[in-house]
A and B are shown apart, each in its own frame.
Chain A
Amino acid sequence: MSDGISNNKTKGVSRRAVLAGGTALTASLFMPNGLRAADFPTAEVNTTGLAVTDDAVTIGILHSITGTMAISETGSVQAEKLAIEQINAQGGILGRKIEYIQEDGASDWPTFAEKARKLLVNDKVASVMGCWTSASRKAVLPVFEQHNGFLYYPTFYEGLEESPNVIYTGQEATQQIIAGLDWVNQTKGAKTFYLLGSDYIWPRTSNKIARKHIENFMDGCKVVGEEYYPLGHTQFNSVINKIRLRKPDVIYAIVVGGSNVAFYKQLKAAGIDMTKEKPLLLTISVTEDEIRGIGGENIDGAYACMKYFQSLENENNLAFVKAFKEMWGDDMVIGDVTQAAYLGPWLWKAAVEKAGSFDVDKVREASPGIELTTAPEGYVKVHENHHLWSKTRVGRAQADGQYEVVFETADLVEPDPFPEGYQ
């Protein structure tokens, strides 16, 4: 892909200009020959005994490739490998090729912690791309903090966390939720909301934020119902009847996993046609990945609010989608989290180059303020709180399984993992 993208910007970039950070980083991302390892002696760029040699640096990939979560995490692994391959094709980081050790978290949270320890203590990896569920992140967090590892976490999640050892490349809850609620209120005149979710921390926290926002910040709007169903629940006929009874303007759904498929199929079978938007369905949990299981015809007309859709039409994204399909096959779809996972290695590369070192402390210090103009979602920037500034978008699901982007915030939305007034 570098041939197609690398343009005149890359010409004449000196090492100093790259190290200056800022806009020059953009160019460095696509510089064909990269930096030379000889300019960065291993003894200087690695003072803490990480797995860095004169020509290679080792990082870890820690996702579930077996078990329940393999469904979701496979895309992240693919995106991370693509990013690593692209970075290596451009000469690697500080002249060193990225090698990776992949461990399987097996959808089991203690296994995640154990594998994280193995990666950090035995393999001495310089950073880790990994985790998907909040539960797995919470399980590895103490390990990363104890051994001073550095994790890039790709999933949109509930917020209320800010670790010096984690960069959160997905959106935290307020970024994802508020813009979507405002949009549906302003453009669709929605006043009443029915909140629905799977019964665990992310949907509950997200709905809590949604409820606070609806009740405190949106005039004349109210929540007419709030419901949770156990993970894996497959019978939604009762709640669908309840929704009919309450007649909300918006069904706000945060159903996940296999339940998702059951929910949308039964909604359609019950005669609730989402293309008529009465009620309108807004979700924050269905990416293009999930639609493959649900079937596009079953979710046609629903709206999703997140930061990335595969159908985004900008040069970065077109190139990303093309490269992804070349590497993993034409029938692949790319969801929000997959894109966020793709940002991980690139953000790390930018931070390492800005710091001129692989040392975790220096990379951490260099991370806030890192910009990426080449992200498929557009421009992103790392905030002081280790989350990303990013735009939030609303997409309308179509029968072909893709989203049509109908709205995007004018500015980047500031990440606010500890929102005041929403607790």
Chain B
Amino acid sequence: MFADYSMAELGAIFAMQGFAGLILFSVFVLMALGLAIIFGQMGVINMAHGEFMILGAYVTYLVSNLFAEYMPALFSMYFFVAMIFAFIASGLLGLFVEWAMIRHLYKRPLDTLLATWGLSLILQQTYRSVFGAREVGVSIPDWMMGSLPLTDLIEVPINGIFVMVLAVGISLAVYIMMFRSRWGKQVRAINQNRVMAGAVGINTEWTDRLTFGIGCGVAGVAGSAFTMIGSTGPTAGQLYIVDTFLVVVFGGAGSLLGTIASAFSISQAQSIMEFFLSGSMAKVLTLLVVVGILMIRPQGLFSLKLRK
């Protein structure tokens, strides 16, 4: 298939393809970080993760409309404001959901699966009632659309760069919170031994709530960023949920590093196979390999030693 092309063209295509893989990697990282916090650290199987993301997307849509209406001069900058609001909105909803629902289910982790799935249906129908069944079009500032020509042949999508920068930024933020902050220390302590953590004076209830809220908030930021590359509709969250769980489970629940490593390997495998095979085939093969590896290594790529 490459016979008719010059070396320069091939080089350019491969460079762009490599970049496509990196963008996919960033998308996976963004999707999975929020869930890695919630599922990895708390053991809550949050099936409504996609809906928290879409809440972020809808907030972005609202903010973009507000800016277009009242502050057209600042429209090109609205996206940053939108991401902050997306974090706050999804985070607050997360806090509320934890208080109303999740905290009653910590002793029955499998039931969180059903409960959050029900929550996802409720949220979907709420979005449908509020925003309508149709997808909404989020207008993205001009400077974020289009591509950056690096050479004559290589063009790099700007929104891809944006997603990459965001993924790196949020990963760093989560890392610092998890391993350098008081809250992170408490979360890890609870994760290792809930009773002891409580005994030494950690407010486990509040820490749990905050953890869930932060996880949901990160999901909201991801959803906000995805308005650039995907659709915003009541059920759009469903498009991400499978890949998200795949990344988190494959990486090893409880390990942030594992999540990132697994996002990298899955995205590269998929992107390379998509290039050489068809899209559906790439997906099938990726899933097969992941299932195979998980059969040999059920704990995922990286696992923490836990005292159960």
Contact = CB atoms under 8 A, between A and B. Distances in A.
Interface of A: 65-68, 70-71, 74, 199, 227-230, 232-235, 237-242, 244-245, 257-262, 265-266, 268-271, 289, 291-298
Given A237-B160, A269-B159, A271-B157, A294 B137 contact: yes
A261 B20 contact: no
Nearest to A246: B1
B229 A71 contact: no
B128 A66 contact: yes
B228 interface: yes
Interface residues of B, number: 50
Question: Which residue of B133, B139, B274, B280 has the most chain A CB atoms within 10 A of its CB atom?
Answer: B133
Nearest to B17: A241
A257 B236 CA distance: 9
B124 to A, nearest CB: 8
A156 B135 CA distance: 21
Nearest to B282: A238
Contact of B23 (A65, A237, A268, A297): A237
Given A239-B279, A295-B139, A271 B133 contact: no
A237 B282 CA distance: 14
Nearest to A107: B235
B134 A269 contact: no
Given A242-B275, A258-B239, A268 B145 contact: yes
Contact of A71 (B9, B16, B135, B139): B135
Contact of B128 (A70, A238, A259, A293): A70
Nearest to A265: B229
The secondary structure that dominates the A interface is helix
A296 B17 CA distance: 27
Given A265-B145, A271-B146, 5 more contacts: A65-B133, A235-B24, A237-B271, A238-B20, A262-B230
B5 A269 contact: no
B90 to A, nearest CB: 19
Question: Which residue of A66, A199, A238, A270 has the most chain B CB atoms within 10 A of its CB atom?
Answer: A238
Question: Which residue of B23, B136, B137, B238 has the most chain A CB atoms within 10 A of its CB atom?
Answer: B137
Interface in B126-156: 128, 132-140, 145-147, 149, 155
B129 to A, nearest CB: 10
Given A229-B280, A270-B155, A70 B234 contact: yes
A241 B230 CA distance: 18
A262 B275 CA distance: 18
A294 B229 CA distance: 10
Given A241-B20, A293-B135, A71 B147 contact: no
B146 A238 contact: no
22 contacts: A65-B133, A66-B125, A71-B234, A74-B132, A234-B27, A235-B24, A235-B27, A235-B229, A237-B23, A241-B275, A258-B135, A258-B233, A261-B135, A262-B229, A265-B159, A265-B229, A269-B157, A269-B228, A271-B149, A292-B135, A292-B136, A295-B138
B283 A230 contact: yes
Given A67-B235, A258-B135, A293-B137, A228 B20 contact: no
A67 B238 CA distance: 11
Contacts of A241: 13, 16-17, 20, 275
A268 B231 contact: no
B271 to A, nearest CB: 5
A293 B134 contact: yes
Contacts of A238: 17, 20, 271, 274-275, 279
B279 A233 contact: yes
Contacts of A257: 231
B279 A232 contact: no
Given A242-B275, A261-B135, A271-B157, A71 B146 contact: no
Given A230-B280, A241-B20, A265 B230 contact: yes
A289 B137 CA distance: 11
